[in-house]
A and B are shown apart, each in its own frame.
Chain A
Amino acid sequence: MSVEETRTVQARPATPARRVNTKELWSARGLLLPAVVVLVLLTQVPFVVTIVFSLLRWNLLYPDDRGFTGLGNYASALTSGDLGPSIVATVLITAFSVALSVVLGLAFAVLLDRDFRGRALARTLMITPFLVMPAAASLIWKYSMFDTTIGMLDWLSRTLHLPVVAWSTDHPLASVVIVLTWQFTPFMMLILLAGLQGQDRGILEAAQVDGAGAWRTFTWITLPHLRMYVEIGVLLGSVIILQVFDPIAILTKGTGGTKTLAYLLYERAFIGLDVGQAAAYGVVTVILTIIVATVALRTLFKVFMAGGSR
């Protein structure tokens, strides 16, 4: 499928011959307008302002020293030594959390796709971590799981005579990834389970009749079928986790290689009070996200195309 084809989304494939008159077009625009205006005011306008801020020399600690500095903030952002590690932290956290939650999500989806006693209850319990407020999840992990005196992981290590690990201080990146994986595995599981249940039973039976074992059926029929669902999960998950803030703020406060772009920006703006610098980081964050989102959009349009041509 070419890029052009995948990017074409039709409003209603079933009604190509419908006459669209001017009046109808305008009433449709009128329906769309309120939502568009709200979004422009709340996101596009502030972003333009962010770009303007990023070109200014503006630290709230020195209110009188304010002026145009061109790309100065970008230059100092690039040379400060914070940007590189921050991009690395953002990418590592996103990549590990998404990859782990997809793998675990797939495992749970396969296990829960079978018929067994209490399946509905198991599924309900399984999706709960995703529903727990992220701030609460981070706190619960920090204190009741990771803590070195009252944490369950600590107790488990002591009971099994394993070395005791101070998770959130000794392995901050791993701690953040663990919490995010725990929260996003159900998200992936739900999407992949829907994929598994959307499989054509006839094809699966035919494969069985043809003598394909469970493993071969899974790798040759189920996995290719799940590809689209994996893509949706990965892309939506990445876009959300790229921006993630709560576990960083609560678990590590950006220490030990966990200072993501979102946290760095927060630090510069609301602790360092450097508006210009923070805005420059904001613009960089957007550029990074655009790269991911472009891939995401392309895939989403492809998915919607597939849905439209039923």
Chain B
Amino acid sequence: MTRATRNGLVTVLTWVLVLVFFFPVFWMVLNGFKPEAVASSAHPKLFFTPSTEGYRLAMDRGMQGYLINSVTASVTATIIVVVLAIPAAYALSIRRVKNVEGALTFFISTRFMPLAAVVLPLFMILKTLGLLDNVYVLAVIYAGVNLPVAVWMMRSFFLEVPFEIIEACRVDGAGLGREIFRVALPLVLPGVASAALITFIFSWNEYFLATLLTSSAARTTPPFLGSFVDGRGQFLAVLSAASTIAALPVILAGWVAQKQLVRGLSMGAIK
């Protein structure tokens, strides 16, 4: 076998494997456009007359409301995280706090803390305060969950800012605000963007806290999808359509920002 043939075969194999792996997503999108009878048939059909019935049914179930809550919770959480993480990451990289290691350990240990272990008191406290089922409260909690990762990520970006630049700006007598926002921040915008992206993704997809801390007014999309488990009769088309809508924002964001994704997922450890 020549080298070229072998290369070609490996490429074909790669594509086959990738397509097999991608198939459930493809099938989800396809089923969303099938009439219910076709989607729920025991004989899968690749060709059919597309229909938006599934999407209409998903919206009839009130999906807009859940989507709006998801957007509110995820975007608010992302904003809070960015606002809190920039100064913290700055302090842990360019400014020097005592015991950086201790601070970093503290941050990351809160991320490693199982949510299951803190959700019960959160539930009780929020219940007492009458703050259950509030989308902004959910957002604050999401911010807390994602803050440690964001700090670690942004720190790894701040560490790459050449210190000479900071020093020069201090010599010029710039204050702290100017030092952060006018000098350092523009250089680490990709880092801020990837921290924001990761926060958004995790908040958008979060199921456990949303299920427990919201009921109707603030319920987000993932628990809404979860409610399909108890559905009866034919519903694969509407389920697929709803899943497609729910997954789409993160899929698109992830596709666009593939590079940032790697660094974000590894908390900045991999460049």
Binding site for B on A (CB under 8 A): 7-12, 14-15, 18, 20, 24-25, 27-29, 31-32, 34-36, 38-39, 41-47, 49-50, 53, 107-108, 111-112, 114, 116-118, 122-137, 139-145, 149-150, 152, 154-155, 182, 185, 187, 190-191, 193-195, 198, 229, 232, 236, 239, 242-243, 245-246, 249-250, 261-262, 265-266, 269-270, 275, 278-279, 281-283, 285-286, 289-290, 292-293, 296-297, 300-301, 303-304, 307-308
Contact = CB atoms under 8 A, between A and B. Distances in A.
Considering residues A18, A39, A279, A296, which has the most beta carbons from chain B within 10 angstroms of its beta carbon?
A: A39
B163 A128 contact: no
B112 A28 contact: no
Contacts of A149: 42
B62 interface: no
Nearest to A186: B21
Given A139-B225, A140-B243, A150 B236 contact: yes
A128 B251 contact: yes
B217 interface: no
A116 B20 CA distance: 18
The DSSP consensus for interface residues of chain B is helix
Contact of A133 (B119, B125, B221): B221
B98 interface: yes
Given A29-B97, A118-B15, A269-B120, A286 B114 contact: yes
A191 B270 contact: yes
A47 to B, nearest CB: 5
A34 B93 CA distance: 16
Q: Most chain-A CB neighbours within 10 Å: which of B90, B98, B265, B267?
A: B265
A182 B21 contact: yes
Contacts of B117: 47, 50, 265, 282-283, 285-286
Nearest to A231: B269
Contacts of A11: 92-93, 96-97, 100
25 contacts: A8-B101, A12-B96, A29-B97, A32-B97, A35-B87, A36-B88, A39-B147, A39-B148, A42-B110, A43-B110, A117-B11, A132-B25, A132-B243, A133-B250, A135-B205, A135-B225, A150-B40, A190-B262, A243-B115, A246-B207, A249-B211, A270-B212, A285-B117, A289-B113, A293-B112
B96 A20 contact: yes
A139 B10 CA distance: 33
B105 interface: yes
A195 B262 CA distance: 11
B120 A50 contact: yes
A132 B251 contact: yes
A143 B267 contact: no
A40 to B, nearest CB: 8
B165 interface: no
Q: Give me the 8 closest cross-chain CB pairs, A-B, nearest first.
A: A42-B144, A49-B121, A136-B243, A282-B117, A31-B87, A28-B95, A35-B88, A31-B91
